[in-house]
């Protein structure tokens, strides 16, 4: 029994020594997390360091959008239809004007009551949180977490390209 115990200790020591040598060689060659991610793109680190917002964002008809001249109720219908808890407010050229969220609706109902005929242009948020399509998805996750939000609009040169929900990041296993 003592002999087996000694072999187990020696084997563990050799494994630790081998790992230490490998880490030392990698460090000496400047091999970092980004290199590891490129070697293992499907792993957790690879997804965090390589996945871009454009790869996981919703696009086209999956993105809830309305014009600013609609009523609050029309915006609520779009929010319900697209199930992102928000709608982007855009002009005819798809330039982003703002956002209207479930939270905005709740606050509005507390303040005003009946919102059925209220113009959206009077109540949407003209300063939405946005991110570019080439940003890392991990950065989008950090922003959402930091600001306690669930969705993020993807914009380039002022134009709405897509939208990203926390669930999209979870599904892509970025977080």
Which tens digit of pLDDT belongs to each residue from 95-138? 999 999 999 999 999 998 889 889 999 999 999 999 999 999 99
Compute CA distances 9 → 2, 4, 12, 22, whole Å: 11, 9, 5, 20
pLDDT in tens, 30-55: 766 655 555 555 555 455 567 999 99
Strands 159-165 and 130-131: unpaired
For the segment 3-16, the average pLDDT, to the nearest whole number, is 69
Compute CA distances 61 → 64, 65, 96, 132, 142, whole Å: 7, 9, 16, 19, 26
Provide the β-strand partners of residue 165: 151
Q: With a threshold of 0.85, does the pTM exceed it?
A: no
Kindly state the percentage of the chain with pLDDT values over 90. 65
Taking a C-beta distance cutoff of 8 angstroms, is the pair 174, 53 a contact?
no
Taking a C-beta distance cutoff of 8 angstroms, is the pair 49, 32 a contact?
no
C-alpha to C-alpha distance for 18 and 40, rounded to whole angstroms: 21
Q: Report which secondary-structure segment, H or E, holds 23.
A: helix 2-28
């Amino acid at each position: 029994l003592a002999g087996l115990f000694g072999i187990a200790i020696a084997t563990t020591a050799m494994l630790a020594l081998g790992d230490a040598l490998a880490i030392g060689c990698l460090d000496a060659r400047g091999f970092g997390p980004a290199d590891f991610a490129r070697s293992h793109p499907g792993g957790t680190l690879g997804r965090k360091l390589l996945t871009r917002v454009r790869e996981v964002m919703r696009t086209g008809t999956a993105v809830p959008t309305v014009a600013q001249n609609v009523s609050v109720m029309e915006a609520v219908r779009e929010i319900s239809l697209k199930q992102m808890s928000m709608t982007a407010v855009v002009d005819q050229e798809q330039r982003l004007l703002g956002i209207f969220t479930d939270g905005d609706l709740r606050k509005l109902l507390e303040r005003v009551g009946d919102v059925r005929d209220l113009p959206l242009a009077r109540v949407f948020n003209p300063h939405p949180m946005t991110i570019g399509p080439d940003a890392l998805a991990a950065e989008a996750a950090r922003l959402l977490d930091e600001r306690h939000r669930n969705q993020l609009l993807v914009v380039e040169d002022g134009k709405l390209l897509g939208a990203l929900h926390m669930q999209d990041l979870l599904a892509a296993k970025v977080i």
